[in-house]
């Protein structure tokens, strides 16, 4: 445990948080700054940085309320050190002396003794600070709720408008929970019972999802790359909601299937798994680097009968001519605001905007329109987004209907989710389903 409470890990966390401030990206900085770090230390750094980002608004409020110091006036390293201390004190089991002393030592190494002394003096006021009591004193309801759960106020207002006041706080709580780890069984190489046996033989605690096929939950902390079967391609790390997009498509062997927005390959490889390489899959994405990830994932999982195309189908006339009215099924997992996956990517709380949502909606509509030229008569289109925004879900369904599509039922929808299928659309939520937030609709023309 000495390593896990050391100054060097906190110094890296402060660096990552300082980089995050500049571009609101987290994963890229985490990967770069922790490359080559001991896996357990890397997990600790990831936990405290992601947690700090997750509760950023609340931490800033608490530091300023407890200390009387304006964070904006502090230099980035001091500011993020104070945030890091507050997160450790409020949300982890790290002893207060370690949270403060080791972070202060990190500041001394990164800056100087004077700055470290300032952080030490200020942070002592955070020990024992009752943030819940202080938040209750905020008069405005929306500001109070958005501070307590640490979300942008405009997000909170929108979601209350969409889903109602009773759903709001459970939804925010669900988005703040750290997502569980699920493995999606790769049927090309193994079945669910066999994979569970392999994992349990190595003393890894797992359980099958109660009603979604092929999903296995891993309990406790594990290093993914060291899980038995990872290198062999027995599974893919995937949230049940993401897997459902491929599952609800109901792909069949012998079909020609288009996967749009395919990289890094979760749904492409799920389609291959469901058909045991029996379908021909054309996977398209606009991002060449992410397509390289898809290629690597496909190779690890033993996916065959796959064609990778870097393109935007809404602008590629040659692609549309080549495949005009050819596909039996199309999966559009559209680029979106990704507000449904905030529990996995807490930086998503701070890099969204109404403008981004409206831009994404235009892109999504273009993809739906292009799909009509690519889908066979009587073919099936599954449209999905990992978004909580109506513009990217229900409004796009309305657009598709105006374009001449018709809705279809989900023939294989688990009975536990049937009550959430309404007016041709299905929504899943973190607080209701313990999944990422997703919207799906199944269409034909």
Give the contacts of 257 (CB within 8 A, at least 6 positions apart): 249, 251, 271, 279, 280, 281, 282, 327, 328, 329, 330, 331
Beta strands 235-237 and 206-208 are: unpaired
What's the rounded Cα separation, in Å, for the pair 327 and 318? 15
Predicted pLDDT at 220 = 87
Calculate the CA 152 to chain-centre distance. Answer: 18
Predicted pLDDT at 40 = 85
Q: Radius of gyration of the chain from Cα atoms?
A: 23
Predicted pLDDT at 1 = 37
Predicted pLDDT at 36 = 87
Residue 336 has a CB neighbour count (10 Å cut-off) of: 27
What's the rounded Cα separation, in Å, for the pair 209 and 195? 13
Do you find a cis peptide bond into 226, omega within 30 degrees of 0?
no
Question: Which three-class secondary structure state does DSSP give residue 263?
Answer: coil
pLDDT (tens, 9 = 90+) of the chain, 445 residues, equals 344 569 999 999 999 999 999 999 999 999 999 998 888 899 899 999 999 999 999 999 999 999 998 999 999 999 999 999 999 999 999 999 999 999 999 999 999 999 999 999 999 999 999 999 999 999 999 999 999 999 999 999 999 999 999 999 999 999 999 999 999 999 999 999 999 999 999 999 999 999 999 999 999 888 888 899 999 999 999 999 999 999 999 999 999 999 999 999 999 999 999 999 999 999 999 999 999 999 999 999 999 999 999 999 999 999 999 999 999 999 999 999 999 999 999 999 999 999 999 999 999 999 999 999 999 999 999 999 999 999 999 999 999 999 999 999 999 999 999 999 999 999 999 999 999 999 999 999 9
Angle (nearest 5°) at CA 360 between 268 and 387: 65
Predicted pLDDT at 224 = 86
User: Following DSSP, what letter does each residue of 137-187 receive, concatenated?
Assistant: T--SHHHHHHHHHT--HHHHHHHHHHH-HHHHHHHHHHHHSPPPEEEEE-T
Beta strands 256-260 and 327-333 are: parallel
Angle (nearest 5°) at CA 129 between 135 and 93: 110
What's the rounded Cα separation, in Å, for the pair 393 and 383? 9
Q: Is 312 annotated as a binding residue?
A: yes
Contact call for residues 287 and 265 (beta carbons, < 8 A): no
Predicted pLDDT at 5 = 64
> From the candidates 336, 365, 386, 445, which is the catalytic residue?
386
Q: Which domains can be identified in the chain, with CATH numbers? A: 3-133 (1.10.940.10), 143-176 (no CATH), 181-237 (3.30.70.1170), 240-444 (3.40.50.150)
Helix, strand, coil percent content, the chain, rounded in steps of 5: 55, 15, 30
- State yes or no: is 445 an active-site residue: no
Buried b / exposed e along 374-396 (16+ C-beta atoms within 10 A) = bbbeebbbbbbbbbbbbbbbbeb
Residue 132 has a CB neighbour count (10 Å cut-off) of: 11
Residues in the chain: 445
| Residue 210: exposure state from Cβ atoms within 10 A (0-12, 13-18, ≥19) | exposed
Beta strands 181-185 and 235-237 are: antiparallel
Q: Is 318 annotated as a binding residue?
A: no
């Amino acid at each position: 445990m000495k390593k896990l409470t050391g100054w060097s890990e906190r110094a890296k966390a402060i660096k990552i948080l300082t980089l995050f401030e500049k571009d609101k990206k987290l994963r890229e900085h985490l990967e770069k700054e922790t490359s080559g770090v001991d896996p357990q230390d890397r997990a600790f750094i990831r936990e405290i940085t992601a947690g700090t980002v997750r509760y950023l608004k609340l931490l800033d409020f608490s530091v300023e309320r407890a200390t009387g110091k304006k964070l904006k006036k502090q230099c980035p390293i001091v500011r993020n050190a104070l945030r890091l201390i507050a997160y450790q004190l409020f949300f982890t089991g790290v002893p207060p002396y370690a949270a403060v002393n080791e972070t202060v030592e990190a500041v001394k190494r990164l800056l100087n003794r004077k700055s470290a002394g300032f952080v030490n003096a200020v942070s002592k006021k955070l020990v024992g600070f009752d943030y819940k009591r202080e938040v209750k004193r905020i008069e405005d309801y929306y500001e109070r709720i958005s501070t307590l759960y640490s979300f942008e106020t405009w997000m909170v207002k929108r979601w209350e408008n969409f889903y109602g006041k009773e759903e709001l706080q459970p939804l925010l709580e669900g988005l703040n929970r750290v997502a569980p780890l699920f493995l999606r069984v790769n049927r090309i190489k193994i079945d669910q019972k066999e994979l569970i046996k392999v994992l349990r033989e190595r003393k890894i605690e797992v359980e099958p999802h109660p009603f979604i096929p092929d999903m296995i939950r891993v309990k406790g902390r594990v290093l993914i790359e060291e899980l038995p079967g990872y290198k062999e391609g027995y599974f893919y790390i995937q949230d049940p909601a993401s897997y459902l997009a491929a599952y609800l498509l109901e792909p069949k062997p012998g079909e020609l299937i288009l996967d749009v927005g395919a990289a890094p390959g979760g749904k492409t490889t799920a389609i291959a798994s469901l058909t045991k390489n029996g379908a021909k899959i054309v996977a398209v994405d606009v991002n060449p680097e992410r397509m390289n990830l898809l290629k690597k994932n496909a190779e690890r999982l033993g996916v065959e009968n796959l064609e990778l195309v870097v393109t935007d189908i809404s602008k590629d006339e040659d692609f549309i001519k080549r495949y005009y009215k050819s596909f039996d099924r199309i999966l559009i997992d559209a680029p979106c605001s990704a507000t449904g996956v905030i529990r996995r990517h807490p930086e998503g709380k701070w890099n969204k905007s109404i403008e981004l949502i409206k831009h994404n909606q235009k892109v999504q509509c273009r993809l739906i329109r292009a799909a009509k030229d690519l889908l066979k008569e009587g073919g099936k289109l599954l449209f999905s987004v990992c978004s909580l925004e109506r513009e990217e879900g229900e409004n796009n369904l309305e657009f598709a209907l105006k374009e001449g599509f018709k809705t279809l039922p989900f023939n294989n929808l688990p009975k536990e989710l049937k009550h959430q299928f309404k007016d041709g659309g299905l929504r899943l939520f973190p607080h209701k389903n313990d999944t990422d937030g997703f919207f799906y609709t199944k269409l034909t023309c």
